[in-house]
Amino acid sequence: MAGLPDQVVANPPQVIIFDSGLGGLTVYREVARALPGARYLYVADDAFFPYNEREEAALIANVVELMGSLIADYAPDLVIIACNTASTLVLPQLRARFEGPFIGTVPAIKPACAASASKLVSVLGTQATVAREYTRALIRDFANGADVTLVGSGALAPLAEAKLRGEDVEDAAIAREVAPCFVETAGRRTDTVVLACTHYPLLLDELSALSPWPVAFIDPAPAIARRAVELVGPAWCAPAGGTNEILFTSGRPPSLPLSAALGTFGLGGIRAAV
């Protein structure tokens, strides 16, 4: 390929993108667009999904052990933790234990509050993410004069996965989860909603259609992709024959509708860990 030495083309960087389930596909999509020359392994920890319902100590132990196995087997050049819950809880332990760069996923509170005209911003995440001190510290540090409403949902991530599996997802179920994000006070309305779970952009069409008024939904994936380019290098922004695989930790193969959905993300080589 023009512009790349032969030895570089022969050894594209290995990138692991890790999530509790399939929400991180929204991050994978943006990163793969930005760095199409890399090799990707997407890991869905569906054996432990949903993380929101797991006790913190068990979740930390699970992710650290699993990540150790993945790093030993694949020697990645970059690991992206495409999960807000795991990032806010486990990322410090991963960075302390393992060498190599990690990118986490945290609520995009700073850019959302800076961009908001009404200064009414909502953060829509899992119950675990919105309850964490990490999230509240981001608000204290970066609210920029905005009033921030935290909204925790235990249902939206499973609903997003159900949609990918080809199941019917009722609009009313989504509307109930997103309704608390919309605040009116003193002549102002919420104008910005931070999507603080990577599953939620999978439902972006539904969220937009069910909103009582238009808002900007902030997806962290583009910022993660930009950071990945900085760490891996711009040489890989051009295609170089990378491969793209997905691994399920449960050992269960995906259904036919899910396999078709995964194909729309450009993922082949679907495998299940046993």
Is 113 annotated in the active site?
A: no
Other CB atoms closer than 10 Å to residue 141's CB: what's the count?
10
Active-site residue (options: 83, 113, 181, 237): 83
Give the β-pairing of 147-153 and 120-126: parallel
Catalytic residue among 113, 181, 197, 237: 197
Beta carbons of 1 and 28 less than 8 angstroms apart: no
Name residues whose C-beta falls within 8 Å of residue 91's C-beta, 6 or more positions apart in sequence: 81, 102, 104
Spatial contact of 179 and 171, defined as CB atoms under 8 Å apart: no
User: Is 181 an annotated catalytic residue?
Assistant: no
| Whole-Å CA distances, 268 to 104, 132, 165, 221, 225 | 24, 36, 17, 21, 21
Please name which of 224, 204, 151 lies closest in space to residue 182, comparing C-alpha atoms: 151
Which residues belong to the active site? 83, 197
